[in-house]
């Protein structure tokens, strides 16, 4: 009787990646596992077929022979469904239970990463700077070179896991690996701890670092300083330090990506007959011409007066929104002149205030409609 195609058994295409094959096998195997399907001969057969298919397709050499010659290319090289459940499922679920196929010697763990919040003014964020920061951290103990053991002694292999750092537990057909409860995965035990670091392998200290902040950073951007984090346990490599930028609010400008925004108060006279103002930018003052009959809220764009992003590209713009300021503390003479102006202004009516009169006309029609 001819065998089923291995790719069809797992339900994957012939160009499936190793990860896709592993994922498909896990799905089929879990569905048809004998523990889940007692006394089910059909499920048992599918489970064995899945094991055999996975054994071939997960091995690059066997898979290449199978792709070229079919079942004849791998005849006699498969376990015919009697695979080592511990090996296969340990490889599949290694990321969950902390172990892989066959187990491995424990590896030295990396130290924890640190984060530092760096406060910057808008000018510093736009132009860049070199900042000095002080951070509390841990470094490898010089006395024991980070081993945690008293000078002249060394840690010994854990007798529970024989130095592997993991123990294998059998659960029915499954064989899973878990972190060793005695050494907590280190694989080593310290019989005589270092008096300087009390067996920790590291000591606390405060260090000063120089951080070069590139121009154009914004809130949320991070700079990684490799190896400036916490010391690794048992002499392991240190973690990294992430310096996160926090740009403080500015009294004049608000930043929006590459662009800057600001509000500029103008007088009634400048708005009516026009004028010229000095506008601040991060590079100094520039002249801004206000045309006659400018309305409050109008935006003026100053090209390339914004920010050049750290990610490159051209500089953004400065967007100036003019706001007409109502004069206060008027003298009697000023009031007289304004009253005289008002009389002349009202006589011109709709020609000089088209928006105002059109709005009142709309209000009148709306009210008249309600009364009808």
Say if 6-83 and 114-247 have the same CATH topology.
Answer: no
pLDDT at position 183, please?
Answer: 82
What is the model's pLDDT at position 95? Answer: 37
Q: Find the DSSP H helices in 33-103.
A: 41-57, 60-69, 85-92, 94-97
- pLDDT tens digits along 280-316: 999 889 999 999 989 889 999 999 999 998 888 889 9
| CB neighbour list of residue 345: distance below 8 Å, 6 or more residues apart | 352, 353
Q: Which residues pair with 168 in a beta bridge?
A: 177
| Exposed e or buried b per residue across 229-250, where buried means at least 16 C-beta atoms within 10 angstroms of its C-beta | bbbbbbbbbbbbbbbebebeee
What confidence tens digit (pLDDT) does each residue in 214-232 have? Answer: 999 999 999 999 988 888 7
- pLDDT for position 185: 78
307 close to 316: Cβ distance less than 8 angstroms: yes
* CATH of region 114-247: 2.10.230.10
For tokens 């973690």, name the residue.
Answer: 239
Q: How far is the C-alpha of 100 from the C-alpha of 98, rounded, in Å?
A: 7
**85 and 213 Cβ atoms separated by less than 8 Å:** no
Between strands 129-140 and 202-213, the pairing is antiparallel
> Which ranges of the chain have pLDDT less than 70?
1-2, 76-108, 170-175, 234-235, 348-360, 363-369, 372
pTM over 0.85: no
pLDDT of residue 301: 95
Query: What does the pLDDT read at residue 223?
Result: 93
CATH class of 6-83: mainly alpha
How long is the chain? Answer: 372
Q: Which fold has domain 254-324?
A: HSP40/DNAj peptide-binding domain (2.60.260)
Q: Residue ranges per domain, the chain?
A: 6-83, 114-247, 254-324, 332-371
For residue 321, what is the enclosing H or E element?
A: strand 318-324
């Amino acid at each position: 009787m001819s065998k089923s195609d291995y790719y069809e058994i797992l339900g994957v295409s012939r160009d499936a990646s190793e990860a896709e094959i592993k994922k498909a096998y896990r799905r089929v195997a879990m569905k048809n596992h004998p523990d889940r399907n007692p006394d089910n001969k059909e499920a048992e057969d599918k489970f064995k077929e899945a094991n055999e298919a996975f054994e071939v397709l997960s091995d690059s050499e066997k898979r290449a022979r199978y792709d070229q010659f079919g079942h004849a290319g791998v005849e006699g090289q498969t376990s015919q469904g009697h695979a080592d459940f511990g090996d296969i499922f340990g490889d599949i679920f290694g990321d969950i239970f902390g172990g892989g196929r066959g187990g491995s010697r424990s590896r030295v763990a990396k130290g924890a990463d640190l984060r530092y919040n760096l406060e910057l003014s808008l000018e510093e964020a736009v132009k860049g700077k070199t900042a000095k920061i002080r951070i509390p951290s841990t470094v490898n103990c010089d006395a024991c070179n980070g081993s945690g053991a008293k000078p002249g002694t060394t840690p010994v292999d854990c007798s529970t896991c024989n130095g592997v750092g993991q123990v294998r537990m059998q659960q029915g057909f499954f064989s899973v690996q878990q972190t060793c409860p005695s050494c907590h995965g280190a694989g080593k035990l310290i019989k005589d701890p270092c008096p300087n670091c009390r067996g920790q392998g590291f000591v606390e200290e405060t260090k000063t670092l120089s951080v070069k902040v590139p121009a154009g950073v914004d809130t949320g951007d991070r700079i990684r300083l490799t190896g400036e984090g916490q010391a690794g346990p048992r002499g392991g490599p240190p973690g990294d330090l992430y310096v996160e930028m926090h740009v403080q609010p500015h009294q004049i400008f608000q930043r929006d990506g590459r662009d800057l925004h600001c509000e500029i108060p103008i007088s009634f006279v400048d708005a009516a007959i026009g004028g010229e103002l000095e506008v601040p930018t991060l590079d100094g003052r520039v002249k801004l011409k206000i045309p006659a009959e400018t309305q409050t809220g109008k935006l003026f764009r100053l090209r390339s007066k914004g920010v050049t992003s750290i990610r490159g590209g051209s500089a953004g713009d400065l967007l100036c929104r003019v706001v007409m300021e109502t004069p206060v503390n008027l003298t009697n003479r000023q009031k007289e002149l304004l009253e005289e102006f008002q009389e002349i202004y009202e006589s011109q009516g709709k020609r000089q205030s088209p928006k105002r009169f059109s709005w009142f006309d709309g209000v009148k029609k709306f009210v008249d409609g309600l009364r009808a």
